[in-house]
Amino acid sequence: VSDASGCSMIALLHTGAAKFPQNLLSRSRQAVSPLFPAGVFKGSSSIVSRKLASHGFGASMAAMSSFPPQRYHYFLVLDFEATCDKPQIHPQEIIEFPILKLNGRTMEIESTFHMYVQPVVHPQLTPFCTELTGIIQGMVDGQPSLQQVLERVDEWMAKEGLLDPSVKSIFVTCGDWDLKVMLPGQCQYLGLPVADYFKQWINLKKAYSFAMGSWPKNGLLDMNKGLNLQHIGRPHSGIDDCKNIANIMKTLAHRGFIFKQTSKPF
Instruction: Please choose, from the candidates 164, 84, 159, the residue with its C-alpha nearest in 3D space to the C-alpha of residue 126.
Output: 84
> Catalytic pick from 81, 93, 96, 160?
81
Torsional sign, CA 109, 113, 114, 120: negative
Q: pLDDT value at position 42?
A: 36
86 three-class SS: coil
> Would you call 131 a catalytic residue per the annotation?
no
The model's pLDDT over 235-248, given as tens digits with 9 standing for 90+, comes to 999 999 999 999 99
What is 74-255's CATH number? 3.30.420.10
Are the C-beta atoms of 208 and 216 separated by less than 8 Å? Answer: yes
The model's pLDDT over 149-195, given as tens digits with 9 standing for 90+, comes to 999 999 999 999 999 999 999 999 999 999 999 999 999 999 999 99
pLDDT reading at 132 higher than 90 = yes
How sure is the predictor about 32, in pLDDT bands with cuts at 50, 70 and 90? Answer: very low
Mean pLDDT, rounded, of the chain: 83
Instruction: Give bridge partners of residue 170 from the DSSP assignment.
Output: 75
> Catalytic pick from 93, 96, 160, 236?
236
> Would you call 55 a catalytic residue per the annotation?
no
pLDDT reading at 257 higher than 70 = yes
> Rounded distance, CA 222 to CA 212, Å?
11
